[in-house]
Amino acid sequence: MAEAKRVSGELLRKFARREADADEDEGGLTREHQTNAQAFALSVVFKDRRRRQTFPWSMYGGHEWTDDGDIENIIVLFGERGCVVRGYRFASLDRDLSLGKRASIREHTKAQVDSMLADEGDEPIIVQVETFPGFPQLVSLIKGEDEDENRDARRAQR
């Protein structure tokens, strides 16, 4: 019995999360790249941490990376949905998107952006993320609501 507990304790320690493997460090940055497997979906986390949208990689339609001089943009399409990511140092983000290995994109706060710009790292700096269609518009489409106020009048005329 004692032997079984010792073995299960060793297994637990072997596979339990270590503090170094935590999702988020003190600066609020995350491990967003999947090193050995393709990610299931791309999760977009906004600065307020109250909004999150997820895009399945099975719907990935491509992306386009542009540089407008002062800021870089990546537009990513997932079926009829998409997102626009604005920021800096997008080389690794471009590679991850091409391979389907990016698990999340998290907007950085102004303090994080300033700190990351001062460093010479290659981690993508996400200043802004915009998704389309917007979440309220998606909910309206799912509910079957139409923003056209004359819709009911047209139905009555038919």
Q: Where are the domains of the chain?
A: 29-148
pLDDT tens per residue across span 58-108: 999 999 999 988 899 999 999 999 999 999 999 999 999 999 889 999 999
What's the rounded mean pLDDT across residues 4-19? 54
Higher pLDDT pick, 156 / 98: 98
Note the pLDDT of residue 111.
93
Check whether 24 has a pLDDT greater than 50: no
Higher pLDDT pick, 117 / 147: 117
Check whether 134 has a pLDDT greater than 80: yes
pLDDT tens per residue across span 42-63: 999 998 888 899 999 999 999 9
Check whether 158 has a pLDDT greater than 90: no
Note the pLDDT of residue 51.
87
Alpha helices by DSSP H, 44-148: 91-99, 110-118, 135-143
Note the pLDDT of residue 1.
55
From the list 22, 38, 6, 23, the residue with the least C-alpha distance to 103 is 38
Note the pLDDT of residue 34.
46
pLDDT tier for residue 29 given thresholds of 50, 70 and 90: very low
CA distance 156 to 116: 59
Beta-bridge mates of residue 30: 24
